[in-house]
């Protein structure tokens, strides 16, 4: 069901990154009520710049590392819910690309996303008297079309796609809907220099950038369109200014 972002409260994990920052700017044009940015590194100048885009929206920055224990995440979210009373959307956007750092890649790209999602269910789950909510997880084209030279990164993004698909199917139970936005190759600092697994391709970054790319602004525009379309279970592919809801695999009924 299409969603108006006017007067909505949004938590954006990693809302100051390459794609994240431009998406935050696009969100502010929609007259949110609150945009709460959770990120590792504070950048007061950027927060001030964001606030100037739309003074009607309250922009708040809170330091957050997605690799902290889930109990810490729940405490942080409680302070946000206590202040705002309601949160409408959680965007999980933290990610790293470096297949030399196997544990960190899994911890940030997948475990951190799962933990943040699990933590917010304490406040949203209708079985606990919550109001429900919307989760937007940032995946990647590699989640369904792997860059085989970075199998760890690609594997984490495939895990995000599967986790989010499961969340969407659980919506009748939890009241929480979910979808992924999956950017194609986007010109961010992430892709200009990174390491392949076991150095199987020393020039993986250069070879990747030989393919057609999109700007962070093009990606951000499609990103916010996907949020407004608000399709539970959507697998959105954002590439070169286009937005497409794709079918990854045939659905299999487990019979459970």
Residues known to be catalytic = 153
Contact 212, 185 (CB under 8 A): yes
Task: Report the candidate in 54, 6, 61 with the shortest Cα–Cα distance to residue 28.
Answer: 54
Task: Report the candidate in 166, 135, 188, 165 with the shortest Cα–Cα distance to residue 245.
Answer: 165
Task: Report the candidate in 146, 153, 169, 159 with the shortest Cα–Cα distance to residue 256.
Answer: 169
- Give the N- to C-terminal CA distance of the chain in Å, as an integer: 27
Question: Which H or E element spans position 81?
Answer: helix 70-84
């Amino acid at each position: 069901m299409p969603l108006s972002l006017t007067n909505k409260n949004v938590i954006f994990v990693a809302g100051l990154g390459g794609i994240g920052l431009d998406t935050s700017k696009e969100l502010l044009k929609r007259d949110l009520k609150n945009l709460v940015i959770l990120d590792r590194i504070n950048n007061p100048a950027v927060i001030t710049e964001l606030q100037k885009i739309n003074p009607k929206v309250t922009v708040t920055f809170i330091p957050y590392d997605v690799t902290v224990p889930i109990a810490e995440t729940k405490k942080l979210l409680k302070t946000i819910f206590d202040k705002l009373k309601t949160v409408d959307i959680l965007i999980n956007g933290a990610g790293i690309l470096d297949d030399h750092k196997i544990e960190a890649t899994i911890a940030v790209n997948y475990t951190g996303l799962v933990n943040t999602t699990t933590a917010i269910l304490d406040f949203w789950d209708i079985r606990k008297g919550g109001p429900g909510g919307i989760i937007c997880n940032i995946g990647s084209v590699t989640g369904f079309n792997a860059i085989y030279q970075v199998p760890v990164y690609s594997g984490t993004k495939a895990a995000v796609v599967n986790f989010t698909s499961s969340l969407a199917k659980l919506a009748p139970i939890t009241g929480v809907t979910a979808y992924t936005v999956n950017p194609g190759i986007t010109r961010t600092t992430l892709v200009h220099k990174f390491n392949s697994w076991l150095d199987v391709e020393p020039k993986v970054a250069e070879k990747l950038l030989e393919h057609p790319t999109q700007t962070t602004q093009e990606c951000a525009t499609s990103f916010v369109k996907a949020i407004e379309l608000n399709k539970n279970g959507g697998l959105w592919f954002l590439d070169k200014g286009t937005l497409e809801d794709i079918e990854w695999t045939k659905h299999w009924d487990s019979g459970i």
